[in-house]
Chains A and B, each alone.
Chain A
Amino acid sequence: MRLWVSVALVVLASAANAEVLLSEDEIEQTLSFGPWPPSLQPDPSNRVSNDASAIALGAALFNDPLLSVDGAFACASCHDPEQAFTTTEARALGRVLLDRNTPSLRNLAGLRWYGWGGKSDNLWAASLHPIIADEEMAHSKESLKAAISDSPYINDFEKTFGEIQKQDPELVLVNTAKALSAFLETIITEATQFDGFRDALERGDFVEAANYPEAAQRGLQLFLGRGNCVFCHNGPRFSNNEFHDAGVPYFLNEAEVDEGRFGGLNILLSSEFTLDGDWSDDPDKQGAWAVRGVRRSHSDFGMFRTPSLRGVAETAPYMHNGNFIDLEAVIRHYSEIDIERLHADGEDILAKLSLSEQEIADLISFLVTLSSKP
């Protein structure tokens, strides 16, 4: 009995010490980062979205080097499921050193754009590109069809998509990508310490919310306030899914730059695999408004898609080219950014923050709570 009382007192005492530091306004903004996980509809452009056998087939293919012409790589070679669906290399190593960092493939369902430069407007097109890219899996449509026909997956493939010999090689390619996409849609990160905090605030449970570390709360306040991070990293995924210049050097070598969104739009607008194209399974062409209405601008050059920050602590190194080795390097970059050197003209958002060491540590503490692994 006595023991129970003292335990209760300890809990009360620690609860009294910890508190919610956020203002009402900050709480309101914090709620907009949830709920998590979001409720997702099947992808109307992919008739096998949410289909259990397609998902199983996609998972098997993802891990199988069969999808590269000479068996050199699987998707999983770069997007390693044991490493949050990426690897620790700054830039992906395909047949050559690629220009970009391998993104984690989590929480991709339902986005408006895929790829650092947004070259795809749907997940099956984003899954299709690497299969036929010369520097990556390097299949042709024909070699892919032959590989699948001769593989142990042929029965599962035909169960989902019908007889393969009746399919054009291009249809086999698109179907393969749609199975991969159905699988990728199921990769969703778990609720995190941050979500526990956010949900407690929504319930008005301040005792529970006060368990969220004060350093992380201060970091969140900076994220919402002086840091301006929320301008681009907003919503439940901490990304507006649009394209910005975060001041990352974008030279590939002395003569070339990564064109970012500019190049992404070139590929998108000449692609037959968009939501507006014939390969979409959606008669209503939902989502096609974006590719139809997207505007081109001079400032697309060197802009990259705002990455989601969910699970970010698990996916170093960072940025489109893996330029920064850890979160501290990213925060120091934002702290010391030289706005004169921003290449995309006119976006008046980033400013040199000159953060103190304490503030840098606080922002990192906050970002770490967006992962389920401590």
Chain B
Amino acid sequence: MTRWAFWFLISSGPVVACEAVGQRAASDVEDAPEVYVSSEVVPLAQPFSILIEVCNETPVSEILVDAIMPAHQHGLNYTPKVTALDEGKFRIDDLLFHMPGLWELQVDVDFNGKLVSYTSEIALR
């Protein structure tokens, strides 16, 4: 129905010990556990949901999700709702990208007190 194309810019690297689907999110931290983001086609200016999976031996129970538009210096108009599913999987609802262009999804994961930040770029048109 919607025609907004999107893609994620991903960091390369082999998939280890995790059957996660979707695109791998990037992190500046070396050897950071893998995080995957998957979604249906992202609609413009309408709410949508994504799934995030954190591949770690001890499953994490909490993540923080936000997004910004780097070119326009603004973020989301609504706070996304994060629901923990089982085994390091999370469902994110109420995401809404209100403008076309490049969005940067930001995921902060708490690995036993060590916070690692991930980003995933989504181009919406």
Contacts and interface: CB of A to CB of B under 8 A. Distances in A.
B47 interface: yes
A227 B71 CA distance: 17
A45 interface: no
A347 B99 CA distance: 11
Contacts of B93: 289
Contacts of B125: 29
A188 interface: no
Interface band, chain B: 20 to 34
Contacts of A231: 99-101
Contact of A240 (B74, B81, B99): B99
A93 to B, nearest CB: 33
From DSSP, what is the main secondary structure of chain B's interface residues? loop
B3 A32 contact: yes
A62 B83 CA distance: 44
Contacts of A28: 3
Given A29-B125, A295-B76, A295-B79, A289 B45 contact: no
Contact of B79 (A31, A243, A293): A293
Nearest to B71: A348
B100 A289 contact: no
Contacts of A214: none
A235 B45 contact: yes
A339 to B, nearest CB: 13
A232 interface: yes
B44 interface: yes
Interface residues of A, number: 23
B100 A293 contact: no
Residue among A29, A293, A346 having the largest count of chain B Cβ atoms under 10 Å: A293
Interface string A228-242: 001110110000111
A233 to B, nearest CB: 11
B4 to A, nearest CB: 7
Interface in A276-295: 289-290, 293-295
A242 B45 contact: yes
Q: Which residue of B78, B80, B125 has the most chain A CB atoms within 10 A of its CB atom?
A: B78
A347 B125 CA distance: 18
A232 B99 contact: yes
A260 to B, nearest CB: 14
A289 B72 contact: no
B66 to A, nearest CB: 10
A28 B2 CA distance: 11
B77 interface: yes
A349 interface: yes
Contact of A31 (B3, B72, B99): B3
Interface string A32-57: 10000000000000000000000000
B72 A293 contact: no
Interface in B34-69: 44-45, 47
A299 B45 CA distance: 19
B98 A240 contact: yes
A289 B99 contact: no
Interface of A: 28-29, 31-32, 230-232, 234-235, 240-243, 289-290, 293-295, 299, 346-349
16 contacts: A28-B3, A32-B44, A235-B45, A240-B99, A242-B98, A243-B77, A289-B94, A290-B47, A293-B79, A293-B80, A294-B77, A295-B77, A346-B74, A348-B71, A348-B72, A349-B72
